[in-house]
């Protein structure tokens, strides 16, 4: 359990979310070890079940946070077996090897599985419809995680205003594209409750040490289109660019349209309020400013 002297193990600890979790945990003085294929404390391929079993036996973690993923929809379509191995088989191995009375499992899932269209705020029991291999394999991983009694699962969506490793998160892409091209297209028919990654990491770590288990949405307090997010972010960052209206209809692979989430189940446990669109954008602008200094 946290505070036992045994480490927190962050699978995918070099990624966008993982790196924030690790930074916040280290600031708190926790013992943290990262796992990824490169630049991590433990460098291994998490699709190798035997290697994962050895890692868990050797490290005896008090908490495992699983944020390893293939987040590219195209990569998942191109390598479905690999997506299944990472998003689902890995979770099965974790739940088979770990013991709930010894290790807390925090599993990061996605809003990319919610069904329908429009600005619905889905609860955890809303209808789901995985539109692509990414969503199908993530959902399969969730079902294994739900079989582990000491688990917290977060369906979430987050972004950052700054480049991470070599990747441009959505927020950073918006700012760069608008500044360099003077115009940008936003999907008016794709809805979400996108959070800034720093807030997502803070909520995950606070909830991780609470006596709660099960499935939780973790998103902004409101639901907005990607178009509205772009307009608000550019307004707050004082970037003048033409924002054109686009649609996700016809995109291959198909993607979620109604990713809006109702996060009140988690909100009830947090001593602070999840931010709305305006506050998320303010956080992102502040992050970009800090990074530039």
Ligand X SMILES: NC(=O)c1ccc[n+]([C@@H]2O[C@H](COP(=O)([O-])OP(=O)(O)OC[C@H]3O[C@@H](n4cnc5c(N)ncnc54)[C@H](OP(=O)(O)O)[C@@H]3O)[C@@H](O)[C@H]2O)c1
Site of interaction with ligand X (CB under 6 A):
12, 14-18, 36-38, 45-47, 67-69, 71, 86, 108, 110, 138, 156-159
Shortest Å, Cβ 123 to ligand X = 17
18 vs 260 by CB, closer to ligand X: 18
Contacts with 41 (C-beta within 8 Å, 6 or more apart), sequence order: 13, 33, 34, 35
Shortest Å, Cβ 212 to ligand X = 20
98 vs 134 by CB, closer to ligand X: 134
73 vs 239 by CB, closer to ligand X: 73
Shortest Å, Cβ 229 to ligand X = 12
Shortest Å, Cβ 117 to ligand X = 19
182 vs 291 by CB, closer to ligand X: 291
184 vs 195 by CB, closer to ligand X: 195
Shortest Å, Cβ 69 to ligand X = 3
101 vs 104 by CB, closer to ligand X: 104
Q: CA 233 to CA 9: how far, in whole Å?
A: 34
- Concatenated DSSP letters of the chain: -TTSSPPEEEETTTSHHHHHHHHHHHHTT--EEEEESSSSSEE--TT-HHHHHHHHHHH--SEEEE------HHHHHH-HHHHHIIIIIHHHHHHHHS-TTT-EEEEEEESTTB-SSSS--B-TTS-B---SHHHHHHHHHHHHHHTSTTEEEEEE-EE-SS-BTTB--HHHHHHHHHHHHSEEEEETT-EE--EEHHHHHHHHHHHHTSS--EEEEE--SS-EEHHHHHHHHHHHTT---EEEEE--TT-SS---SB--B--HHHHTT-SSPPP-HHHHHHHHHHHHHHHH-
103 vs 159 by CB, closer to ligand X: 159
Shortest Å, Cβ 26 to ligand X = 16
Residue nearest to ligand X as judged by C-beta position? 15
Shortest Å, Cβ 268 to ligand X = 22
């Amino acid at each position: 359990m946290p505070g036992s002297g045994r480490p927190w193990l962050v699978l995918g600890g070099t990624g966008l979310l993982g790196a924030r979790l690790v930074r916040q945990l280290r600031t708190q003085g926790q013992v943290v070890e990262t796992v990824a294929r490169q630049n991590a404390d433990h460098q291994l391929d998490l699709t190798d079940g035997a290697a994962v079993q050895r890692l868990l036996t050797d490290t005896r973690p008090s908490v495992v946070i699983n944020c390893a993923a293939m987040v590219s929809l195209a990569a998942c379509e191109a390598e479905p077996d690999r997506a299944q191995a990472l998003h689902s088989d890995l979770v099965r191995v974790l739940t088979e090897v770990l013991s709930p009375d010894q290790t807390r499992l925090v599993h990061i899932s996605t809003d990319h599985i919610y069904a329908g269209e429009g600005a619905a705020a889905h609860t955890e029991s809303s209808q789901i419809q995985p539109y692509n291999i990414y969503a199908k394999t993530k959902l399969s991983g969730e079902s294994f995680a739900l079989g582990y009694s000491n688990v917290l699962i977060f369906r979430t969506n987050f972004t950052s205003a700054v480049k991470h490793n070599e990747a441009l998160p959505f927020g950073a892409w918006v700012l760069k594209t608008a500044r360099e091209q003077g115009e940008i297209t936003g999907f008016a028919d794709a809805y979400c409750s996108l959070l800034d990654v720093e807030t997502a990491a803070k909520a995950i770590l606070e909830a991780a040490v609470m006596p709660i288990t099960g499935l939780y949405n973790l998103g902004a307090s409101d639901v907005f289109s990607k178009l509205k997010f772009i307009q608000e972010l550019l307004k707050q960052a004082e970037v003048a660019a033409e924002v054109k209206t686009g649609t996700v209809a016809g995109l291959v692979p198909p993607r979620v349209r109604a990713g809006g989430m109702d996060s009140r189940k988690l909100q009830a446990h947090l001593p602070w309020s999840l931010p709305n669109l305006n506050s998320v954008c303010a956080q992102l602008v502040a992050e970009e400013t800090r990074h530039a200094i």
